[in-house]
Structure 1
C-alpha cells in the first residue's frame, strides 16, 4: 500500500519532502511558478505569498501535485480567465533533475530550469521561460509568450497569438505552429543535425543560423513575405530584404523556405 501525504496551504509556508519525487504537476492562476532542478537535497516547496482559496498539495507514489481543485489539466487551454478567479500564488519548487514536470498557468509567470525529464507547459496569458532543459519539451499557449534558452531536447510549440523566442538553440528538433504569434530562433553551432519545422498563418518568422549550420529548415507563413540569405535554401514567395539568415514578416503574400545547410 502506498503512502499519501496532503497539505492545504492558505498562508506562506515552506515544505520539505522526505519521500522521493519523480513527477511534478502544477496548476495555478496568477502569480509566479519557479521550478528548479537540482542533484542535491530532497524536493522542497516555498510558498512566499498567496491570495484567494488555498492550494492543495499532495505527494502520492512519487507525484508531487500543487493545484486548485477546480483547475483541471485536461482541457486546460479551454478555460476562461473569469473574474471570480482572483487568485495569486508565488511558488518556488526544487525537485530532482530527472523529474517529469507539467506546469499549467492561467495568467501566472512560469520559469522552469535544470530538468532532464519531460517538461510540459500550458498557459493562457502567462509568459513562460524555459532554461537548460535537456529532456523533451512541449509548450502550449493562447496569448502568453514562451522563451526557451539552451534546450537540449526536442521542442514542440503551439500557440494562438503567443510568441516563441529560442536563444542559443541546440535542440535536435523544433516543431512550432501558431496562428498570429511571431517566432524568433537563434540557433547555436552544434555537431548534431537539427530539424526546424515552423508554420504560422500571419505571424513573422526569423531564424538566425551559424556557419556552418548543420540544420534542415522548413518554415512557412500563409500571409507573410519571405527572404533568404542562404543559397542552399529554396524560397517560394515574394522577396523581402533583411539582416537575418531567413525572415518572414506579416503583411505579405505568404511563402515557404526549405532546405538543408
Structure 2
C-alpha cells in the first residue's frame, strides 16, 4: 500500500492500475475526470484537516478523517465547515468503479464509463458524458446530467433535476421539492420515469420517438406537443394524458403531485444519426 497525507497543495501521480475509486472528502470542490494516462490526484486547496490518499490493490481512496457523528453535525452546520474544505481533482481510467461522496460543496464527474455513484448532502452534482450505470443523490441542491448515455437514477429532496442531450436507455428521476427538466434523445425500448411531489415537469423528446406515454398530475395542467398524447379531466379531478408515439417500443411516465407537466416535441435534424 502507498499512502500520503496531504496538508498543502500537491499533485500526486500514481504508479500501477486503478480499478476502483472511493472519494469521501467533507466539503469543497470535487472533480473526477477520465484519463488515458496514469491516475493522479491534484489537491489545490486544503483546510485544517489534511487529505488522506491511499492506493492499494487497484483501489484509490481519497478522504478526510471524520469526527463522531454529533461533532460532525455541529461542524457542518457551523462556520468551522469553511476551515476544513478541500478542492480535489482526480483523473482515473474511464472504466473505474467510482464511489463519490461529499458532505457539502460541488461534485463534477465526466467521461467515466464504469458504474458511478455520486452523493452530496448539500450542494450541486454535475455529470457530463458518463456512459455507465449512474446514480446521483442530493439532500439539498440540484443535479445536472449532460450528454449521459448510461442508465440513470437521479434523486434530490430539495432541488432541481436537469437532464440534457441524454440517450439513456433507462432513466429514473425524482424530487420531493423541485422541478424536473429533461431533453431526451432515447434509443428504442427506453424506460423513462419522472416524478415530483412539489414541482413541475418539462420533458422534450424527438418527433420520431417510439414511446408509450402516460402523464399524470393531481394538481396542475398537462400540455402536449404531440397530437397522439391527449387527455381529459373533470373539474377538481386528477389529470391524465396518454398516447403512443411511433411504434411505442419505449415507455415515458411522468407524475407530479403539485405541479404541471409539459411534453414538448423536438424537430429531427437531417444530420442526426438514427438511433439503434
Would you say same fold, with TM above 0.5? yes
**Would the aligned equivalents of 1:184 and 1:206 in 2 still touch at CA under 8 Å?**
yes
Distance change (3 Å), C-alpha of 1:260 and 1:150 = farther
Does the Cα contact within 8 Å between 2:161 and 2:175 map onto a contact in 1? Answer: no
The aligned counterpart of 2:145 is 148
SS in 2 for 1:200: strand
Structure 1 stretches of 5 or more lacking a match? 240-251
Alignment partner, residue 55 of structure 2: 59
Give the CA deviation at 1:112: 0.5
Contact 2:155 2:175 in 1 (8 A): yes
Distance 2:97 2:226 in 1: 39
1:6 maps to which residue?
Answer: 3
Q: Which residue is equivalent to 1:172?
A: 169
In structure 1, the residue matched to 2:265 is none
Distance 2:237 2:30 in 1: 40
Give the alignment partner of residue 24 of structure 1, picking from 4, 21, 25: 21
Deviates most, 226-235 or 115-124: 226-235
What is the TM-score with the length of structure 1 in the denominator? 0.82
Unaligned runs of 5+ in 2: 246-276
1:46 to 22, 42, 49: 42
1:246 is aligned to none
2:205 aligned with 1:209, yes or no? yes
Query: How many pairs were matched up?
Result: 240
Contact 1:228 1:235 in 2 (8 A): no
Structure 1 position 229 matched with structure 2 position 225: yes
| 2:143–2:156 CA contact under 8 A, matched in 1 | no
Partner SS, residue 231 of structure 1:
coil
Distance of aligned partners of 1:191 and 1:233 in 2 relative to their CA distance in 1, 3 Å threshold: same
Give me the whole-angstrom Cα distance separating, in 2, the residues matched to 1:61 and 1:218: 48
Do the aligned partners of residues 210 and 85 (structure 1) sit closer, same or farther apart at CA in structure 2, a change above 3 Å counting? same
Matched, 1:119 2:116: yes
Deviation at 1:85, TM superposition (A): 2.8
Could you tell me how far 1:29 is from its partner in structure 2?
Answer: 2.9
* TM-aligned CA distance change 1:200 to 1:221, over 3 Å: farther
CA distance in 2, matches of 1:19, 1:217: 49
Q: 1:214 to 1:118 in 2, by over 3 A?
A: same
Q: Name the SS of the counterpart of 1:56 in structure 2.
A: strand
Post-superposition offset of 1:166: 0.6
Q: Hey, which of these two has a bigger chunk of helix by percent?
A: 2
The Cα shift of 1:155 comes to 0.5
Inter-CA distance 11–204: structure 2 relative to 1 (3 Å threshold): same
Q: Distance in 2 between matches of 1:223 and 1:80?
A: 37
**Cα gap change, 1:82 to 1:223, in 2 (>3 Å):** farther
2:101 aligned to which of 89, 101, 104: 104
The 1:115/1:80 distance shift into structure 2, 3 A limit, reads same
Report Cα offsets for 1:173-226 as digits up to 9, x if no partner: 1111211121000112x4433221011111111001111122344554444432
Indicate the residue corresponding to 2:133 in structure 1. Answer: 136
Cα offset for 1:256? 4.7
| CA contact 2:53–2:60 (8 Å) conserved in 1 | yes
